[in-house]
Amino acid sequence: MKDIKKALFMKEAASGKGHNILVEICIAVLLFFIGSTAMGFIQVPAIIAYLLSNKDYMSMIMTGRLDTQKMLSVMSDMPEWIMIVMLFAEILLTVIVLFYCRFFEKRKLSTLGFVKKGMFKQYVLGLLAGAAAFSVVYLICVITGSVKCSGIATDIIPLYITGYFLGYMLQGMAEEVLCRGYLMVSLSRRYHVTLAIVASSLFFAFLHSANSGLSPLAYLNLFLFGVFASLLLLDFGNIWIAGAFHSVWNFVQGNVYGVQVSGMKVSNSILSTSYTNGMEIINGGSFGMEGGLSVSFVFLAGIIMLSYHLYKKGDIVDLQELEGVNGGSSSTISVTERGINITGMDSITSSEDNTNAPDIKNVNNADYNNYNSPDEINADNIIINKDADVLDGDIIKNNNLNSGINAKETDTENNNVQKTAFNQDYFKN
């Protein structure tokens, strides 16, 4: 059975104890509920302002007669500035999740994938990839005749287009922070990465249960999107590319090509698109193209490509090998603020047969910094901490290959003790 290695920022998150899967999902639901409530403080005043300016609504209020059909019409015809305000309010969901992780779980923001190195490049790459991916979806629909492009729309309002773009940049990242940055990474602290991907992707799909036009195929595509975004996060080692892909994916389908975004109709777009009746299986119908086979094909292809790339990098391995590297009985080493930690050495410290095992004691920062050469790091200067964060065994292995194993044999009665030196510059970096 195969599994995926954790990205470096996920290993950093693993230094804290993870919760049970049900607890993690409940926390994610609670964060979503709190975030939605906080967003309401921005969205509700905007909706009230719209209703007070609507003649039909005010007429019903003045006469005291509530017409259900007319009320539904009023709510469905909300101006686009209301939708833009709602998108901007999504930033509060991001703030809520980051606040919880930082102050309740004591996690650094980098453990959610907010890696500083190359973040601008990765974000731009995500924007380009998201736009290209949906363009392929749209092209499939055009070739199959399931949609028809009528050319440039005549009622474009550039200010609204700009507002939607900025709003989707916040909305897409908010969903990635909750579903991937928080939930997937949190689950990976206690469970296999594959399970974390599946659970977080299902959670992402069910978050859209209230959207109009939802179908079983739309649920499947939302799940596939979650798997694709998770693999993107793992392959590139940061959340920037996944957030940018998600954001521009929504913007392009709604405000460039003029199709529904997960059931939400956007009237202000650059191109004008019409659907062909009877071809809903491909174009997605009222849910938008995310409810059709064209999106299924693109995301399945994307999942295969990312999986192959992870496999070629050696990040997809047998489960037993992965457990041997990240845990189990093998010895692994990590560097903390207190010094060098070794985990997985129970057999050395507890076995009665290891009478010649070296003494183990603490190494503090001053001692470590005073080492001038690898020879000075010996078995007498190592601490054992069973709960220590664990670096990937391949890092240690590669470091040994690059820096060499400095082994000295000491004559004892029956045992030869091998001392292994590590490149201190690697750990400092």
The yes-or-no verdict on residue 359 having pLDDT over 60 is no
- Mean pLDDT for the stretch of residues 229-254: 97
Q: Report the alpha-carbon distance of residue 142 to residue 136 in Å, rounded.
A: 10
The yes-or-no verdict on residue 61 having pLDDT over 90 is no
Q: Which of 225, 132, 133 is nearest to 179 (CA)?
A: 225
Q: Report the alpha-carbon distance of residue 287 to residue 301 in Å, rounded.
A: 22
Q: What are phi and psi of 274, to 5 degrees?
A: -125, 150
Residue 233: pLDDT band (50, 70, 90) is very high
The yes-or-no verdict on residue 378 having pLDDT over 60 is no
Structure confidence at residue 260 (pLDDT):
92
| Winning range, highest mean pLDDT, from 117-121, 341-345, 386-390 | 117-121
- Mean pLDDT for the stretch of residues 57-74: 83
- Mean pLDDT for the stretch of residues 84-94: 96
Residue 322: pLDDT band (50, 70, 90) is low
Q: Which of 46, 119, 124 is nearest to 85 (CA)?
A: 46
Higher model confidence: residue 350 or residue 31?
A: 31
Structure confidence at residue 350 (pLDDT):
39
Per-residue tokens: 47: 């909706």
Structure confidence at residue 348 (pLDDT):
37
For residue 358, the number of C-alpha atoms closer than 13 Å in the C-beta half-sphere is: 17
Structure confidence at residue 323 (pLDDT):
64
Structure confidence at residue 221 (pLDDT):
97
Q: Report the alpha-carbon distance of residue 9 to residue 108 in Å, rounded.
A: 10
Q: Report the alpha-carbon distance of residue 97 to residue 392 in Å, rounded.
A: 27
Higher model confidence: residue 414 or residue 259?
A: 259
Structure confidence at residue 417 (pLDDT):
40
Higher model confidence: residue 349 or residue 149?
A: 149
Q: Which of 309, 394, 399 is nearest to 11 (CA)?
A: 394
**Other CB atoms within 10 Å distance of the CB of residue 41:** 10
pLDDT tens column, 165-218:
999 999 999 999 999 999 999 999 999 999 999 999 999 999 999 888 899 999
Contact between 7 and 196 under an 8 Å Cβ cutoff? The reply is no
3-state secondary structure the chain: CEEECCCHHHHHHCCCCCCCHHHHHHHHHHHHHHHHHHHHHHHHHHHHHHHHHCHHHHHHHHHCCCCHHHHHHHHHCCCHHHHHHHHHHCHHHHHHHHHHHHHCCCCCHHHHCCCCCCHHHHHHHHHHHHHHHHHHHHHHHHHHCCEEEEEECCCCCHHHHHHHHHHHHHHHHHHHHHHHHHHHHHHHCCCCHHHHHHHHHHHHHHCCCCCCCCCHHHHHHHHHHHHHHHHHHHHHCCCHHHHHHHHHHHHHHHHHCCCCECCECCCCCCEEEEECCCCHHHHCHHHCHHHCHHHHHHHHHHHHHHHHHHHHCCCEEEHHHHHHHHCCCCCEEEEECCEEEEECCHHHHHCCCCCCCCCCCCCCHHHHHCCCCHHHCCHHHCEECCCCCCCCHHHHHHHHHHHCCCCCCCCCCCCCCCCCCCCHHHHHC
Structure confidence at residue 309 (pLDDT):
96
Residue 326: pLDDT band (50, 70, 90) is low
Contact between 298 and 137 under an 8 Å Cβ cutoff? The reply is yes
Q: What are phi and psi of 324, to 5 degrees?
A: -70, -30
Contact between 282 and 288 under an 8 Å Cβ cutoff? The reply is no
Structure confidence at residue 73 (pLDDT):
82
Percent of the chain past pLDDT 90, that is, above it, reads 61
pLDDT tens column, 125-158:
999 999 999 999 999 999 999 999 999 998 889 9
**Could you give the angle at the alpha carbon of 325 between the alpha carbons of 323 and 328, nearest 5°?**
50
* Amino acid (1-letter code) at residue 266: V
Structure confidence at residue 397 (pLDDT):
46
Contact between 420 and 406 under an 8 Å Cβ cutoff? The reply is yes
For residue 251, the number of C-alpha atoms closer than 13 Å in the C-beta half-sphere is: 29
The yes-or-no verdict on residue 375 having pLDDT over 60 is no
Structure confidence at residue 324 (pLDDT):
57
Provide the terminal-to-terminal Cα distance of the chain, rounded to the nearest Å.
Answer: 34
Percent of the chain past pLDDT 70, that is, above it, reads 75
Higher model confidence: residue 306 or residue 336?
A: 306
Q: Is the pTM of this model over 0.85?
A: no
Higher model confidence: residue 349 or residue 229?
A: 229
